[in-house]
Amino acid sequence: MSQTPTEAGGPVEDYKLGWVAINKLVDQGFSWSGHERNCVFLNQGAAPFANVSAVAGLNWEDDGRSLAPVDWDMDGDLDLFATNRTGPRLRFLRNGLNSDGGFLQCKLQGTEGNRDGIGARVEVLLQDSEAAPLLQTRRAGDGYMAQSSAWMHFGLGAESVQAVRVTWPNGQTEDFSTVQANQRYLLVQGSGKAKPWTPPVAEQKLRPSLPEPPRARSSARVVLASPIPMPQLEVESAEGRKGELFGVEARIKAEGRIHQPILLQLWASWCAPCTQEMAAFTTAAEDLAAAGVEVLALNIEPEDSRAKAREMVESMGWPHLSGFAAGNTVEILDTLQGAILRQDIRIPVPSSFLIDGNGNLVAFYLGRVEPDQIVQDLELMALPAEERIERALPFPGRWFQQPPEQSPMYLERKFSDRGLHAAAREYQPGWIHLQFGRALAAKGQLSSAEEQFRMALATGPYVVDAYLGIGKTLHLQGRPTDAVEQYKQALQIDENNESVIYFLGLAHLARKDRPAAQAQLERLRALESSLAAELDRRLQATASD
């Protein structure tokens, strides 16, 4: 546990590192302060308390935080609200025990000081003069971030009540003598008289349910409220050909085209659930094709262990696409799901990713998923944002305010933290503008390309590349003098950038300034750049002009 510094201005590095370690453990699924089940202890009178947690049924696997007692159904016994750090975050436990014991419930109303009588001491004096009074203090809260009902409950058993004595927060003591067992009273400070209170009659719509054990973290269906562009993934075909899927460049090339949604499945030959899932998708091949979704099964095993995977794909008659996860593809997908779930827990196999025709992640599934679920989730792609958000929730409800959208910069930071810098770059606005600028320039849309390069320049951090892109588009638009200024700006940042020097030389040639172009050639030769020969050839070709 992180230790708070004891002196102002003292060393805080260990304190900060402690918090980093705690948050990392929480992200990995560990409890904040230990796996704390709820406990129930039975008062045995003179004997020690007995731990009856198991037979009481309150010791779930939950990581408990607070228990707030309240007579919810107004039947004279206490029910419980239990809060947890883990899910479910809230449980309601209705007390259905049959008991002949009496009760007394009081609610305080202060007239001097706080209205709720917080801090008052309440004594229930019993008819048996030798019996000790029942004591409670009116508190503002019970446990961690919890508060019970304002009604103070006293279990009487077979005893009768003589009076209730209240010592108010101002120190004054007041007796209320007209009280009886199995009743509820409002005690107003200074009135000296207990006012009977009758609870309202309301229909109880709750139905009892059996507690369900928590689902394993390795099994989940996650629908994204806002689709996220997929980073570039390296894959290898069954025949050994390597290629890339998704990423910024793929989205640029796909612009204006219609592509099918794709389900990307991760599997391994040693994984029994993987085999079961693939068998189901083999059987449902026609239904999936009719729904318009492609399935690509990527085996995650190393190259020297792929023979068995190939045999399995062939023996089951796999009707869909198949291949292997190459490079750091598994690491990228693991980082992506962990960033979305805000957890640092490794991705299981099988896992699947549903991606729309534009290369955006719509949903993912940790553990087995059935083909029918995929066909059903294809509907998500056509939904407006509001309906998609509703589908992303596991329960109904009303929004107090609209949820914030996922920032791509958050994903960039997560990929960078894992050393996946190429994937992190896919979520940098500057890199995206740069790639779109290059694509538009290749298509001859120079003014639009220049606009993208200027946006990349304003966004950063690819400033040199942005200046170079602006310079090239200006040059192609017949403005070499303006291009020269852009190249000079780039060289102020990176004076030995060979590409910028080369294109600066070409711009000087276009301006008929051969001495300036020759100077750039000498700079390239000093750097022993391969571009020197090409610039020299261009100079020689224009020697007669």
Per-residue pLDDT tens for 365-399?
999 999 999 999 999 888 887 777 777 776 677 77
Which of 255 and 66 is assigned the larger pLDDT? 66
Q: Which of 107, 69, 127, 125 is nearest to 196 (CA)?
A: 107
40: phi then psi, degrees, rounded to nearest 5: -125, 130
pLDDT of 23: 81
The angle at the Cα of 466, spanning 460 to 467, to the nearest 5 degrees, equals 120
H helices within 383-513, ranges in order?
A: 385-392, 408-417, 421-425, 429-442, 446-459, 463-476, 480-493, 498-510
Looking at residue 517, its amino acid is A
Digit-coded pLDDT (tens) for 304-316: 888 899 999 999 9
Helices (H), 108-242: none
**Helices 463-476, 429-442: crossing angle, 10 deg rounding:** 20
- Best mean pLDDT range from 69-78, 386-395, 535-544: 69-78
What's the rounded mean pLDDT across residues 62-86? 88
**Cα dihedral sign, 166-172-173-177:** negative
Q: So what's the pLDDT on residue 521?
A: 92
Residue 125 is predicted with a pLDDT of: 95
Which of these, 99, 102, 170, lies nearest to 134 by C-alpha position? 102
pLDDT of residue 217: 54
Crossing angle of the two packed helices 480-493 and 498-510, in degrees rounded to 10: 160
Cα separation, 514 vs 359, in Å, equals 48
Beta bridge partners of 93: 80
CB atoms within 10 A of CB 284: 19
* CA–CA dist 317, 294 (Å, integer): 16
User: Band of the pLDDT at 190, cuts 50, 70, 90?
Assistant: very high
Peptide bond into 403 cis (omega under 30): no
Residue among 229, 243, 216 nearest 426 (CA): 229
Q: How far apart are CA 30 and CA 499, in angstroms?
A: 51
As a whole number, mean pLDDT of residues 194-204 equals 87
Within 8 A by CB and 6+ apart from 213, the residues are 61
pLDDT tens readout for residues 140-151: 887 788 888 899
**Tens-place pLDDT, residues 423-472:** 999 888 898 899 889 988 988 999 999 999 999 999 888 999 999 999 99
Summarised one tens digit per residue, pLDDT across range 98-112 is 778 899 999 999 999
